[in-house]
Structure 1
Amino acid sequence: MKTKILILAAISYSLVGFSQKNEIKTAEKALKSGDAIAAKAAIESASGMIGGADDKMKAEYYLLKGNIYKDLAQKGDAAAFDVAIEGYNDLIALEAKTGKQKYTAEAQQKLTAITADLVNSAVTDNQEKRYKEAGEKLYKSYNLSKNDTIYLYYAASSAVNGGHYEQALTYYNELKDLGYNGSEMKYSAVNIETGEVEEMAKNQRDLMVKSGTYKDPKDERTPSKSSEIVKNIALIYTQLGQDDKALEAYKDARANDPTDVNLILNEANLYFKLGDKEKFKALMSEAAEVAPDNPDLFYNIGVINMEQGNLEAARDAYKRALEINPGYVNAQLNLSTTYVNEGNSMIDDMNKLGNSKADIAKYDVLKKKKDSLFREGATVLEDALKLNPDNQGILTQLKNIYGALGDNENFMRLKKLLGE
């Protein structure tokens, strides 16, 4: 009886091994014929039995598994990337353990190809505004190729573009911890035939210049991305409402780039939000000292003050921006809007008044003041039209002001200028 039991066990083991080989061959044949779905079904049938297989069969299984799922990933199954990577990594680990590296080189080549596939797929995702998926694929590309930290940087950028701030924060913090700089050398020369500046690899550029078809070679280093990374970390913490972490991040960002005006403004806005108006004012003054002739700075100061309801301070900033750049359309529009907003604030007070003699008198005073503010806003835009006579934004806002004033003559004039 014992002999028979041993024989039956041996036969059972032999049948299992035969079944594994059969499924692997079926999967291989299906993959070669282009039927990745059938290949997937066959390789999955073999997966439950692979634990008892010998090392040779396991290696064949892992390689085929990687190849099948790589093919599925190339055909649009994004989830297949992970399974393909797992298959190849299991193969490499197995052969490292056994010392028989029959398929390792092939698996490593396939992983390199998957990196390229992931990047290409991420490009498509970004174009079609699937930013979260793009970021995840670029992060996988980075993990497959640790030397290509640029993929991690682009993963963070994709996440930000999609508003996936926590995902982006993870990537940016990893970049910061790595000390990622992102600066690189660019090599260029002027094409003598076309007169265009062209970038190319250094060796190629040098050969082209030597051949006489290109001239004026230049080696230029691109700016470091370190400041951008720490700045974005600070901005994301602000966006997520994590104010304490944001303030710490701003310290890092300011230390990295103390003259970044927008960074100063964002930090100032955070302090205003936290109720520290003295720190807010100090940072605003610092920003103005850093860039006293920058119209964008004063425009942004105007925007921040406008958002906080500080209309007089906003007007002063917009007027300073217009002193520097008289044709600054957005500053013109916003300066006008400060008067309109103040006028609109009186409408609620007017509507709350009753029909008593005192209320009617108060109503007339408020209406006169509101109309005066509206006309002040209109004057700003009439002056703006002298420099930008065809600007649709100015024309439309001016038309609306005259409509609110009941000034039909000017309203119709603006409608005509707008072609309505």
Structure 2
Amino acid sequence: MKKQIVVALALLVSTLSFSQKNELKTAEKAIKSGNFADAKSAIKSAEALIVSADDKTKAKFYFLKGETLYANGTGSNTDMDLAIENFAKVKDIESKTGKAKYTGLIYELTQAMLSNFLTKANKALEEKNYLVSSSGFEKAYRMSPKDTLYLYYAASTAVTAQDYDKSLELYEELKGLGYQGSEVKYSAVNKDSGETENFDNQQLRDFSVKSGTHIAPKETKTKSKAAEIIKNIALIYVNKGDNEKAISAIGEARVQNPDDLSLLMTEANVQLKMGNTSEFKKLIEEATKKDPNNAELQYNLGVVAADAGENQAARDYYKKAISLNPDYADAYNNMAVLVLSGEQKIIEEMNGLGSSAADDKRYDELKEERLVLYREAVTYLNKTLELKPKNIDVAKTLLNIYRVLGDTDKANSIKAKIEALESGN
């Protein structure tokens, strides 16, 4: 009885093995004829039996499955990813067994796949379809991990597509790899044209120099992209609103980019978002020392000073911003706001006065101070409206001031402008 069971099991294994090989032959024929639908069907039938197969059969199965999914470059994105996974399994099996029957074939296929991915990625980039481009470059990198430039392109295009989660993932991977991205550019001067020409590699450049068509060979090393990657990681965290991680990443980025003013400003703005006004001011002051002729920095210092109640300092900063950039509308507007903020104190004193002769005199003095304040504010408001003619809030403020000043003509002129803005003309 036991012998019969052993024989039966042997027959079963033999039958399964025969069925397996049959399905793989069917898949192989279908692939050669370009019938990938039939190939998929055969692969699916063989898949349930592959667990018990020997390494030789497994290697063939995963190779054929990869070919089927690739489908001569017509497979879907998901199928392409799976094809890459299956080819990796083949390599793993053959590296363990020491038999490289399919590794060479896989190399040829992967080169074709790589070319396919890069062609699609570059075409998508030209068409500004950045998500598709990013996906293509990432697939190219997965096919050829030594070419980390593809991973860099995948991260960069993902940022352009505003897929910040994906770009962050890819940039972090680049950072983990210690990616530098610097390369040597080879050039030489064309004897006939006198113009400098770049070459794809040193061999081509040297050949042109030796043949006499070019002179003055030159090699230039491009700047490392490591600092840019850390900077982009920081900016993505800022965009995602993850302020703590943003500050940490910016700190790291600034170590590598000590003179990058945009990074310093980014850190300052994150600190302001977090409510750290004193840190914001400190960073802006540092930025101002690096770039004393930057109107925006002076303006920001004015905002901080105004928020802290340091009105005179705020005035000085706004005036400096205007002197550096006479068309800085926000600086004029904030000067007007600062001037008008003095009105509250005047009104409070006026309301607290009695009816004595001295109080009446003081009331008249305060009333004149208020008018002087309005006249100063009008100068800045008019300039703001000149630079931003559709700012209806500024126009309405001007209308109210002209009415208080009793300037009917200007009040009517501003009123007409407001009506035109409200009607969309």
Pairwise same-fold verdict (TM > 0.5): yes
Structure 1 partner of 2:209:
209
- Aligned position for 1:407: 413
Aligned to 2:389: 398
Name the CA distance, whole Å, in 2 between partners of 1:77 and 1:170: 23
Is 1:284 the counterpart of 2:281? The answer is: no
Equivalent runs, 1:345-356 vs 2, <5 Å = none
Q: 1:211 to 1:306 in 2, by over 3 A?
A: farther
Distance 2:98 2:196 in 1: 52
Tell me if the contact between 1:343 and 1:371 (Cα under 8 Å) persists in the aligned partners: no
Could you say which residue in structure 1 is the equivalent of 2:353? none
Asked if 1:161 is matched to 2:160, the reply is yes
Shift of 1:162: 2.6
Per the TM alignment, residue 84 of structure 1 is displaced from its structure 2 partner at its CA by 0.9
Q: How does 1:14-413 map to 2 (within 5 A)?
A: 14-71=14-71, 74-126=73-125, 131=130, 134-194=133-193, 196-200=195-199, 201-293=201-293, 295=294, 298-299=295-296, 302=299, 320=320, 323=323, 332-335=328-331, 338=334, 376-379=380-383, 397-398=388-389, 407=413
Give the Å deviation of 1:279.
1.7
| Offset of residue 62 of structure 1 | 1.7
Report the equivalent of 2:354.
none
Displacement of 1:155:
2.6
CA distance in 2, matches of 1:282, 1:205: 51
Tell me how far 1:323 sits from its aligned partner. Answer: 4.8
Residue 69 of structure 2 contacts residue 75 of structure 2 at CA under 8 Å; is this kept in 1? no
Deviations 1:160-190 (A, max 9, x none): 2233333323332333333322221112234
Name the SS for the 1:188 alignment partner.
strand
- Shifted more, 365-374 versus 7-16: the winner is 365-374
Assess if the C-alpha contact under 8 Å between 1:265 and 1:301 holds in 2. Answer: no
Contact 2:321 2:328 (C-alpha < 8 Å) held by counterparts:
no
Q: For residues 290-319 of structure 1, what are the alpha-carbon distances to aligned partners after superposition, in whole Å with 9 as ceiling and x for unaligned?
A: 1224x4xx3366479779996988987676
CA distance in 1, matches of 2:83, 2:371: 72
Which residue type is aligned with residue 114 of structure 1? M
Contact 2:318 2:332 (C-alpha < 8 Å) held by counterparts: no
Distance 1:210 1:304, change over 3 A: farther
Separation of aligned partners in 2, 1:17 and 1:24: 11
The SS at the match of 1:217 is: strand
Any conservation in 2 of the 1:315–1:335 contact (CA below 8 Å)? no
1:187 partner SS: strand
Contact 1:188 1:217 in 2 (8 A): yes
How far, CA to CA, are the matches of 1:29 and 1:304 in structure 2?
Answer: 75
Taking structure 1 as reference, are residues 304 and 243 closer, same or farther at Cα in structure 2, changes over 3 Å only?
farther
Relative to structure 1, is the Cα distance of residues 96 and 316 closer, same or farther in structure 2, using a 3 angstrom cutoff?
A: same
Find the residue that maps to 2:81 and give its secondary structure. helix
Identity in percent: 39
User: In the alignment, is the contact (CA less than 8 A) between 1:340 and 1:374 conserved in 2?
Assistant: yes
For 1:407, what is the secondary structure of its paired residue? helix
Letter in 2 for 1:15: T
Task: Give how far 1:379 is off.
Answer: 3.5
Post-superposition Cα deviations, 1:250-291, rounded to whole Å, max 9, x if no partner, equal 221221111111111111112222222222111111111112
Give the SS at the match of 2:180: coil
* Cα offset, 1:79, TM superposition: 0.3
Give how far 1:78 is off.
Answer: 0.1
Query: How has the CA–CA distance of structure 1 residues 9 and 205 changed in structure 2, closer, same or farther, with 3 Å as cutoff?
Result: same
CA distance in structure 2 between the aligned counterparts of 1:155 and 1:299, rounded to whole angstroms: 34
Provide, for residues 364-415 of structure 1, a one-character-per-residue CA deviation record: whole Å limited to 9, x for no partner.
x999989985764554686xxxxxxxxxxx6xx436679876638997xx99
For residues 141-162 of structure 1, the C-alpha deviation after alignment (integer angstroms, 9 at most, x for no partner) is: 4344332222232232223223
Show structure 2 runs of 5+ residues with no match: 342-368, 400-411
| 3-state SS of 2:389 partner | helix
SS across alignment from 2:224: coil
CA separation of 1:54 and 1:226: change in aligned 2, threshold 3 A = closer
Q: Shift of the alpha carbon at 1:321?
A: 6.0
Q: Please give the alpha-carbon distance, in whole angstroms, between the structure 2 residues aligned to 1:46 and 1:157.
A: 41
Distance 1:409 1:165, change over 3 A: closer
Q: Output the aligned Cα RMSD.
A: 4.1
Instruction: Please say which of residues 371-380 and 143-152 is displaced more in the overlay.
Output: 371-380
Change (3 A) 1:237 1:17: same
Residue 350 of structure 2 is matched in structure 1 by none
Give the secondary structure class of the aligned counterpart of 2:77: coil
CA distance, structure 2, for counterparts of residue 178 and residue 137 of structure 1: 20
Tell me, yes or no, if the aligned pair for 1:299 and 1:317 is still in contact at 8 Å: no
Would the alpha carbon gap of residues 403 and 286 (structure 1) be closer, same or farther in structure 2, given more than 3 Å must change?
Answer: closer
Matched to 1:43, the amino acid is I
| Consecutive unaligned residues in structure 1, runs of 5 or more | 346-364, 383-393
| Structure 2 CA distance for partners of 1:10 and 1:274, relative to 1, 3 Å | closer
Corresponding residue SS for 1:85? helix
AA aligned opposite 2:141: Y
Q: Distance in 2 between matches of 1:101 and 1:2?
A: 40
Aligned residues: 375
In the TM superposition, what is the alpha-carbon distance from 1:226 to its structure 2 partner?
2.1
Structure 1 contact 343–374 (Cα < 8 Å) conserved: no
Question: Which range is displaced more, 142-151 or 177-186?
Answer: 142-151
State how far apart, in whole Å, the 2-side matches of 1:68 and 1:20 are.
16
| Superposition deviation, residue 95 in structure 1 | 1.7
